A and B are shown apart, each in its own frame.
Chain A
Amino acid sequence: MSDLELTVVTKDTDRPKLALGRRLWNAVLPVALAVLLLGFAAVDHGVLSPANLLNIAQQTSYLALFAMAQTVVILTRGFDLALGPTVSMVSVGSALAMAGATASGHGAAAVLLAGLGAGFALGIACGLFNGVVVALLGVNPFVATLGSYNIAIGIATTLSSGRPVQGVPAPFSQIFYSGSIFGVPAAIAITVAVGAGLHLLLARTVFGRSLYLIGTNPRAAAVAGLPVKRILVATYVLCSGLAALGAIMMTARTGSGEPNLGGALSLQAIAGAVVGGTSLAGGRGGVGTAVLGALFITILSNGMNLTRIDGYVQMVVLGAIVIVGVLLDRLRQERSQ
Chain B
Amino acid sequence: MNTALVAAAPRHVISLRSIAGRIGLLPALLVMLVAGMSAVDAQFYGIINVLNILRNASLLAIVACGQALVIIAGGFDLSVGAVVALASVVTAKTMAATSAAFPGSNGLIIASGVAAGLGCGVVVGLVNGFCVARLKVSGFVVTLGTMSATAGVGLMITNGIPVYGMPELFVKGFGRAQALGLPTAAHVALIVILAMVFAQRRTLFGRYVYAIGGNVDAAVVSGVSIRRHIVGTYVVSSVLAALTGILLTAQVGSGQASFGGDRMMLQSIAAAVIGGVSLRGGVGRIEIVAVSALFLTILGNALNLLHVDSRLQPVFLGVIMVAAVALDELSRRSKPRV
**Chain A residues engaging chain B, CB cutoff 8 angstroms:** 133, 137-140, 142-144, 146-151, 153-155, 157-158, 161-162, 267, 270-271, 274, 280-281, 310, 312-316, 318-323, 326-327, 330
Contact = CB atoms under 8 A, between A and B. Distances in A.
A158 B308 CA distance: 11
Given A316-B148, A326-B138, A327-B137, 15 more contacts: A146-B321, A150-B317, A151-B319, A154-B311, A158-B311, A312-B152, A312-B156, A316-B149, A316-B152, A319-B150, A322-B145, A322-B148, A323-B141, A327-B131, A330-B136
A149 B266 contact: yes
Contacts of A326: 137-138, 141-142
A137 B329 contact: yes
B116 interface: no
Contacts of A147: 318-319, 321-322
Contacts of B312: 154, 158
B137 A150 contact: no
A264 to B, nearest CB: 8
A312 B158 CA distance: 10
Interface string B155-173: 1100100000000000000
A143 B76 CA distance: 12
B318 A148 contact: yes
B141 A280 contact: yes
Interface in B266-281: 266, 269-270, 273, 279-280
Contacts of B311: 154, 157-158, 161-162
A315 B86 CA distance: 14
A271 B137 CA distance: 13
Question: A-side binding surface: helix, strand, loop or mixed?
Answer: helix
B315 A146 contact: no
B129 to A, nearest CB: 13
Contacts of B151: 315
Nearest to B159: A312
A323 B155 contact: no
Interface in B308-328: 309, 311-319, 321-322, 325-326
A270 B136 CA distance: 18
Nearest to B323: A147
Given A139-B326, A314-B152, A155 B321 contact: no
Given A137-B329, A155-B315, A319 B147 contact: yes
Contact of B330 (A137, A157, A267, A271): A137
Contact of B326 (A137, A149, A281): A137
B333 interface: yes
B39 interface: no
A126 B57 CA distance: 31
Nearest to B71: A142
B42 interface: no
B156 A313 contact: yes
A146 B138 CA distance: 19
A143 B137 contact: no
27 contacts: A133-B326, A138-B330, A147-B318, A147-B322, A149-B266, A150-B317, A150-B318, A151-B314, A151-B318, A151-B319, A158-B309, A158-B312, A161-B311, A270-B144, A312-B152, A312-B153, A312-B155, A316-B149, A316-B152, A318-B152, A319-B148, A321-B145, A322-B144, A323-B145, A327-B135, A330-B135, A330-B136
A176 B220 CA distance: 55
Contacts of A142: 76, 269, 279
4 closest residue pairs by CB, A with B: A315-B152, A150-B318, A319-B149, A319-B148
Contacts of A137: 326, 329-330
B45 interface: no
Contacts of B152: 312-316, 318-319
A319 B315 contact: no
A32 B140 CA distance: 24
Nearest to B76: A142
Contacts of B330: 137-138
